[in-house]
Amino acid sequence: MIPESLRALLDDTQGQRHTEWAGREVWLANEPWGELAVSLQGAQVLHFLPSPETATAEGSLPSPETATAEGSRCADAGGWLWVTPTPQDLPGAIRGGIPLCWPWFADEHTADESPDRSGPMHGPARKASWILEAVDEHDGGVELHLSPAERLHSQLAPRAVIQANAQRLHVELVTEHRGETPVKFSAALHSYFAVGDVHGCRVEGLAGARYLDKLAGFAECDQQGELGVRGSLDRIYHSNREVVLDDGNRRLRVAKQGSDSTVIWHPDTELPDDTPADAGRHFLCIEAACTRLDPVWLVPGAQHLLGTTLSLEEQP
Ligand SMILES: O=P(O)(O)OC[C@H]1O[C@@H](O)[C@H](O)[C@@H](O)[C@@H]1O
């Protein structure tokens, strides 16, 4: 699901351009391989819509004659990600797409005693200004490199890499330790997936996994069978496996790297203020994360990569 105003900007885009949406600088691509929108607030992917029917082979560019056919996107014109049509004003964060939560997930602040301990829910990275340092041709699509405009932590430095082509979207958040003492941190790629109706969704790949139920005081539970979404959910699964999101219309593979926690979140009817009721039924969050279950201890000079890769499940 994509807000009409963002849809209009993408429709007016031929190739790639910088423009403004909801008061934020955004980078847009409308290319033969598909569409991508990235907000420079938070280095946040807002929208991704590949053109799989036009791909001739893994990683190869389709011919221009076939590639720009709008019809190839009609069945799925909203894209794979959900963005609220009513984002809060700056300096608030945009709800939707793939927010980068760093250097802590939720309120799990870094364990060191530095000033880095304090800050907003999900950390300062998603509200910060990022700089788009490079846009490269990559694997039949693009690869973007982004870094924060200002320092966000006294010892850790994040950077983001976003790759998009006709087959997949890949986002990675790399954390480099440039300081002197070991630091513990957590993080999440807080992906909001567009779904037909959240209550009809099934998430496959978590059967048998242990999880913490945040709605039951972090009670430890076991996932019995595959997860069907019926009401509100706020769970941290201890799992490094890929999952498949099936909303009845589409089976999306959600793979991940450098993550032993998978967060599943939907507030059901208790929607945040920036989410209209009719829009709130159309997302489900599946987050590749490092949480209290698998915090990262980084030593000076080391780096950690948290990644997620989205693709359609191959048809048999
Ligand atoms: O409203 P925010 O700050 O984006 O957070 C949304 C949700 O994000 C999820 O990752 C958390 O598990 C939830 O507890 C939280 O409510």
Give residue-wise pLDDT tens across range 106-144: 988 765 545 567 788 999 999 999 999 999 998 899 999
Catalytic residues: 190, 287
Q: pLDDT per residue over 81-91, tens digit each?
A: 999 999 999 99
d(CA 277, CA 163): 32
* Nearest one of 55, 3, 56 to 34, comparing CA atoms: 55
- What's residue 66's pLDDT? 34
Kindly state the average pLDDT of the residues 179-184.
92
pTM, two decimals, is: 0.92
Q: pLDDT per residue over 163-179, tens digit each?
A: 999 999 999 999 999 99
- What's residue 139's pLDDT? 85
Question: SS3 letters for 50-84?
Answer: ECHHHCCCCCCCCCHHHHCCHHHHHHHCCCCECEC
Percent of the chain with pLDDT over 90: 84
Compute, in angstroms, the gap from residue 97 CA to the centroid of ligand 1: 14
Question: Best substitution site from 190, 263, 271, 308 to test ligand 1's pocket, by max atoms within 8 Å of Cβ?
Answer: 190
Q: In 10 A of CB 172, how many CB atoms?
A: 19
- Phi–psi pair at 134, nearest 5 degrees: -155, 145
Closest ligand 1 atom to the C-alpha of 120?
Answer: 3
Q: Does the predicted interface ipTM exceed a cut of 0.95? A: yes
Asked if 222 and 213 count as a contact pair (C-beta separation under 8 A), the reply is no
Ligand 1, pocket residues at CB < 6 Å: 106, 121-122, 190, 214, 234, 263, 265, 272, 287
Closest ligand 1 atom to the C-alpha of 188?
Answer: 10
Tell which CATH architecture fits domain 4-312: Distorted Sandwich (2.70)
Residue with CA nearest ligand 1 atom 12: 234
